[in-house]
Amino acid sequence: MRIASSLIFLSALLVASCAKKPDTGEDPKVTTLGSIEVTAQLVEIRGALINDPLYDYAHVMKYKLLQIHRGEVNKETMYIGHYDPAKPRDKVADARVREIGGNVRQFRVGDIHRMALEVPIDDYYMGGIINKYFGEVNEPAYWAIWTNRVVK
């Protein structure tokens, strides 16, 4: 009985130690780059993320705005373009896009991101854009410069 209790206690301790610590996603990059900084929840990724070593695209994703840290955002739904989203953010900078990064390793619907942004995307990025919201949404897409994961 004593052994069983000890095992249960140890298991609970292990689970507690593995649980992710809260993280606001704040770091010196996300708080200084770009003119807009928000925390938002990724609600939809339309279309498959392309992982082709020959080509690099920006993929526009749909977010629900949770908090504005810097700059001005007027709508609760934001459309944000991420460069080469099949790659981890710390591996995505290249000859085309030099200033980009963050700690997000994978884009998953439901995740919360703290992002440094610019708008419109065309003023900050010159390359192929996969925008499955074209013709449906009139507002300009944002350009994600720095993307960190937020853990509540």
- Residues in touch with other proteins (CB under 8 A): 54-57, 94-96, 122-131, 134-135
Residue 96 or 108 having the CB closest to other proteins: 96
Cβ neighbours around 145 below 10 Å, total: 24
DSSP three-state, residue 81: strand
To the nearest whole angstrom, how small is the minimum distance from the Cβ of residue 57 to other proteins? 7
Show the CA angle centred on residue 87, arms to residues 34 and 151, nearest 5°. 65
Minimum CB distance to other proteins smaller for 76 or for 123: 123
Least Cα distance to 131 among 53, 71, 28, 60 occurs for: 60
Q: Check: CB of residue 58 under 8 Å from CB of residue 130.
A: yes
Give the span between the Cα atoms of 113 and 40, in whole angstroms: 6
Q: CB 15 → other proteins: shortest distance, Å?
A: 43
Nearest to other proteins of 141, 150 (CB atom):
141
> In terms of CB distance, is 2 or 98 closer to other proteins?
98
Question: Among residues 120, 121, 114, 27, which one has the least CA distance to residue 67?
Answer: 114
Token output for 63: 């977010």
- Least Cβ distance, residue 60 to other proteins (angstroms): 10
Shortest Å distance, C-beta 104 to other proteins: 23
